Amino acid sequence: MNHQHPDFCGIDIIPLPAFRDNYLWLLRRGTRAAVVDPGDAAVVERHLAAHGLALCAILITHHHADHIGGVAELVAERDIPVFGPAAEAIAGVNRPLSEGDTADLPELGIAFRTLEVPGHTRTHIAYLASGILFCGDTLFSAGCGRLLGGTAAQLHDSLRRLAELPDDTAVYCTHEYTLANLAFARAAEPSNAERDGWQVECARLRAAGRPTLPSRIGRERQINPFLRTTENGVIAAVAAHAGVRPAGSRECFAALRAWKDNF
Ligand SMILES: [Zn+2]
């Protein structure tokens, strides 16, 4: 399987499976590597050792244990930058980032721009560089993160922002939730041919043991009900489920999020 992203000459982005359904995304250029949300140090160390790589940086999107659990061990004998949200006290983070700040990874020849995307947590950030988005637990393929600190309005607005990125932006989220999300998406918008096509493709990928990620912003805008809260099909399904027609996009999103919580 080739994980090389065509926009990044010489950089591979590799999913390291961890826990039940996490991907720890590892960026690699030559013998240099960086890792996003290393919840498990052993998984990262094994890959570094097996491929003779030197870890140069860590990027953290938010403070949940499955995203930061490996940081202390990874930095114990390394003096490397650990980027993370400035608004949250996270042990090990030595490069706190706020909206618009740059996470510079000179060893890999990449610099990410910080987007504050609250909702899943109050202080969640995402990393964006020419066509590549690491969005943690904010946006998933066909779904979005739960509200574990932020508000529905915040997550709605954060997703709106991500949806405005160029269509071909590659979406690297942290969890392989796609098939389960697609089951809910079918309930939330019964008629959506693009979504049905993506479901067939994802079932094929999973049967072959392959990730459904990264997704693309353009695809998510077409298939992800949480980005489609102004579409008639979604509004009608939410109205039928909740017994009341949502007053607007934010209300539709909040009702959808609550519905999915108990789906
Ligand atoms: Zn989380």
Asked about 175 being catalytic, the answer comes back as yes
Token pair, residue 15, equals 């999913």
Q: What is the pLDDT of residue 10?
A: 79
Q: What is the pLDDT of residue 7?
A: 52
Q: Calculate how far, in angstroms, residue 64's C-alpha sits from the geometric centre of ligand 1.
A: 5
Q: Calculate how far, in angstroms, residue 255's C-alpha sits from the geometric centre of ligand 1.
A: 20
Which amino acid is it at 79? Answer: D
Residues with Cβ < 8 Å from 196, sequence gap 6 or more? none
3-state secondary structure of 195: helix
β pairing state of 125-129 and 132-136:
antiparallel
Asked about 101 being catalytic, the answer comes back as no
Q: What is the pLDDT of residue 1?
A: 39
Q: What is the pLDDT of residue 263?
A: 94
Token pair, residue 165, equals 């990125």
Token pair, residue 14, equals 């590799």
Q: Calculate how far, in angstroms, residue 224's C-alpha sits from the geometric centre of ligand 1.
A: 19
- State the pTM of this model: 0.96
Q: pLDDT tens track of the chain, all 263 residues? A: 344 454 566 799 999 999 999 999 999 999 999 999 999 999 999 999 999 999 999 999 999 999 999 999 999 999 999 999 999 999 999 999 999 999 999 999 999 999 999 999 999 999 999 799 999 999 999 999 999 999 999 999 999 999 999 999 999 999 999 999 999 999 999 999 999 999 999 999 999 999 999 999 999 999 999 999 999 999 999 999 999 999 999 999 999 999 999 99
Q: Which of 62, 63, 124, 156 is catalytic?
A: 62
**Contact present, 187 and 260 (Cβ < 8 Å):** no
Place of tokens 């090389």: 4
Asked about 62 being catalytic, the answer comes back as yes
| Order of strands, sheet of 32-36, starting from the edge strand that comes earlier in the sequence | 12-18, 22-29, 32-36, 54-59, 82-85, 95-97
Helix axis angle, 232-242 to 249-261, nearest 10°? 60
β pairing state of 32-36 and 54-59:
parallel
**Contact present, 217 and 165 (Cβ < 8 Å):** yes
Q: What is the pLDDT of residue 9?
A: 64
Q: How far apart are CA 34 and CA 60, in angstroms?
A: 11
Residues with Cβ < 8 Å from 126, sequence gap 6 or more? 61, 114, 115, 117, 133, 134, 135, 136, 138, 162
Q: How far apart are CA 230 and CA 134, in angstroms?
A: 25
β pairing state of 110-116 and 125-129:
antiparallel
Token pair, residue 227, equals 């980005």
Q: How far apart are CA 147 and CA 24, in angstroms?
A: 22
Q: Which of 120, 124, 156, 168 is catalytic?
A: 120
Q: How far apart are CA 142 and CA 139, in angstroms?
A: 8
